[in-house]
A and B are shown apart, each in its own frame.
Chain A
Amino acid sequence: MIDNGLLVQMILGALLGLSVYLPMAAGQLSLATPAFYAVGGTLAALLSTQDNAQAGITLGAMVGEMFLAAGLTAGLALLVGLPVLRLRGIYLAIATIALVEIVRVAILNLPFTGGAAGIFGIPQPFQQPLGYVLFSGGLLAACGWLCQRLEASRLGRSMAAIRDDELASRCMGIHTTRVKLTAFVASAVLAGITGVIAAHYLNTWNARQGSFDVAITTLAFVILGGSRSWLGPVIGGLLLTALPELLRPVGDLRLVLFGLVILLGPVLFPQGLITPALLERLGRWKP
């Protein structure tokens, strides 16, 4: 039922879930992920269709694009993050939605991004979806490992403290602006490089890839999966990306069922599927 093509999308979903999770781990409800995702995807689409679109692209060139996208999104996140992270809670969410809209409208209207139709014929570094599965799967594993290390480090502890009580964190001498900005930039970079992979995999890219809908869907990954550990958004991203496809046999009803899952998820699992209690039980069960 799950073919390699779907698997790629699931992994990309998990990566975007992680991107939403990172600021949230520092208590910041940022919905900016689709904006950086769109920047990464557009950058890859533009660069790889420069001369001869049929020429194909090497893996090395795509990795190069990922580094460029990382740099660009990091710069953008620093620029936007400094003023925007002064906002809290729902106000930060609104400001980041505005960023998503600005980026979407810009990509829609810039003279070189193909307008509403977008950019076609983005060359593929892999001939089979399996290549994407392995590559993005490797990236996801690396990100998971980074998050695991983060939780054991000072930065991760400071993020958890800010999430619990920002004022108390400041009074303990934690440079909260720096910590929040770091999380925001990491989130942007992850979304940007995910965009690069997505653009090549999808073969085509347009402004709709980074819309407000994506902000809500990726937020649902974290809410359903659980926001107390990096495993939550990964599981949430994998499941919720697969679900609409797995529900295909029920026809038009599938979107209703998908909506029901998103609606009932937080009701039945208010802390998400992956809770600290669950992780503790798993930890104890491990030898």
Chain B
Amino acid sequence: MSSSTKTEAGPWLELRQISRQFGGLQALSEVSFQVEEGEIFGLIGPNGAGKTTLFNLLSGVTPASSGTIHWRGQAMQGLSPDRHNRLGIARTFQNLRLFTGLSVLDNVLVALHRQPQGSGLDALLNSSRFQRRQSELRQRAMQLLEELGLADQAHRQASGLAYGDRRRLEIARALATAPALLLLDEPAAGMNPREKEQLCELLAVLRQRHQLTLVVIEHHVPLLIQLCQRLAVLDFGRLIALGTPEQIQRDPRVIEAYLGGSR
């Protein structure tokens, strides 16, 4: 399983004693876990459990109050979101943050900004090299849209897409940055059962094809049980369970967190 890019033996992604306060609110307290390379790792928990906060920390959007995150042997504290992405971490957003004024194709083209573009002079002169590069980029973008089943909508404005399609476009856009770790924040929210089923199969395919490690937040637990090798359960900012889907389903603390109980 160890890859050539990995410089030191150690976990692919490791969180150590991660905490985050917002004023008096303890959004996360001392969360520690590791994610292995190539794994599909699920994150569940009731609303307000700190799942999205955790994603914000993992993608550099908000800094941790304390604790450390190591990604492929590198300490990630203090790095900006764009630096996180350049180091191979991409994400989607629970509340959808597409570039709504741009076309579906342009949303993906924007995210392909690290691919060869031709020089500034090429762009100015619209040289044949620039045109060739741009058409390669468009092909690459169309290929990604194809994978997500959006190719026929490439020229629509992103704001005009159906809800499920917008969620898939978020994934296409994140994939365009060629990540090694993809953080999916409720990718199936608002999808109908059929779409959820298809998404589940799609994610497995994408993981293979793009050699991804996936961390998935999802409220629809059956989907995660089907998809993930391991699950972590957050409740009130604490990690209350970690294990295989079978272990999680039997865990009394998880049942209590979800169904309530005497505390």
Minimum CB–CB distance from B53 to chain A (whole Å) comes to 15
A176 interface contact, C-beta 8 A: yes
Q: Are A165 and B99 in contact (CB under 8 A)?
A: yes
Residues of chain A with a CB closer than 8 A to B93's CB: 168, 171
What are the 8 closest A-B residue pairs judged by CB atoms, nearest first?
A173-B85, A168-B97, A164-B99, A170-B81, A153-B123, A161-B110, A172-B111, A170-B82
Task: Mark B residues whose CB is within 8 Å of A.
Answer: 59, 61, 80-82, 84-86, 90-91, 93, 97-102, 106, 109-111, 113-114, 117, 120, 123-124, 126, 134, 173-174, 176-177
Looking at the complex, which one of A152, A160, A174 makes contact with B134 (CB distance below 8 Å)? A152
13 contacts between A and B (CB under 8 A): A149-B126, A157-B110, A160-B101, A164-B101, A164-B102, A165-B98, A167-B61, A172-B113, A173-B90, A173-B114, A173-B177, A174-B82, A175-B82
Q: Are B173 and A172 in contact (CB under 8 A)?
A: yes
Minimum CB–CB distance from A178 to chain B (whole Å) comes to 9
A172 to B179, CA, bound (A): 10
A169 to B110, CA, bound (A): 8
Minimum CB–CB distance from B181 to chain A (whole Å) comes to 13
- Please report whether the interface of chain A is mostly helix, strand, loop or mixed according to DSSP: helix
Q: A165-B99, A172-B111 are in contact. List 14 more A-B contacts (CB 8 A).
A: A157-B102, A157-B106, A161-B102, A163-B101, A164-B100, A164-B102, A168-B98, A168-B99, A170-B61, A170-B80, A171-B84, A171-B91, A172-B176, A174-B113
Q: Are B124 and A174 in contact (CB under 8 A)?
A: no
Residues of chain A with a CB closer than 8 A to B177's CB: 172-173
A86 interface contact, C-beta 8 A: no
Knowing A149-B124, A174-B82, A175-B82, the reply to whether A167 touches B97 (Cβ < 8 A) is yes
Looking at the complex, which one of B80, B85, B100 makes contact with A172 (CB distance below 8 Å)? B85
**Chain B residue with minimal CB distance to A146?**
B124
A158 interface contact, C-beta 8 A: yes
A154 to B109, CA, bound (A): 8
A174 to B110, CA, bound (A): 9
**Chain A residue with minimal CB distance to B117?**
A154
Task: Mark A residues whose CB is within 8 Å of B.
Answer: 146, 149, 152-154, 157-158, 160-161, 163-165, 167-176, 228
**Max chain B Cβ within 10 angstroms of own Cβ: one of A170, A176, A228:** A170
Q: Are B82 and A176 in contact (CB under 8 A)?
A: yes
A168 to B93, CA, bound (A): 8
Looking at the complex, which one of B90, B113, B114 makes contact with A171 (CB distance below 8 Å)? B90
Knowing A149-B123, A153-B117, A174-B110, the reply to whether A161 touches B99 (Cβ < 8 A) is yes
Residues of chain B with a CB closer than 8 A to A149's CB: 123-124, 126
**Max chain B Cβ within 10 angstroms of own Cβ: one of A146, A158, A167:** A167
**Chain B residue with minimal CB distance to A175?**
B82
**Max chain B Cβ within 10 angstroms of own Cβ: one of A153, A158, A167:** A153
Residues of chain A with a CB closer than 8 A to B90's CB: 171-173
A173 to B91, CA, bound (A): 11
Q: Are A152 and B81 in contact (CB under 8 A)?
A: no
Q: Are A158 and B123 in contact (CB under 8 A)?
A: no
Residues of chain B with a CB closer than 8 A to A165's CB: 97-100
A60 to B109, CA, bound (A): 42
A107 to B81, CA, bound (A): 41
Knowing A168-B97, A171-B91, the reply to whether A160 touches B81 (Cβ < 8 A) is no
Knowing A149-B126, A157-B106, the reply to whether A171 touches B81 (Cβ < 8 A) is yes
Q: Are A173 and B106 in contact (CB under 8 A)?
A: no
A164 to B110, CA, bound (A): 12
Minimum CB–CB distance from A190 to chain B (whole Å) comes to 16
A228 to B93, CA, bound (A): 26
A157 to B99, CA, bound (A): 10
Knowing A167-B61, A167-B81, A171-B61, the reply to whether A154 touches B113 (Cβ < 8 A) is yes
**Chain B residue with minimal CB distance to A276?**
B101
Residues of chain A with a CB closer than 8 A to B123's CB: 149, 152-154
Q: Are A172 and B126 in contact (CB under 8 A)?
A: no
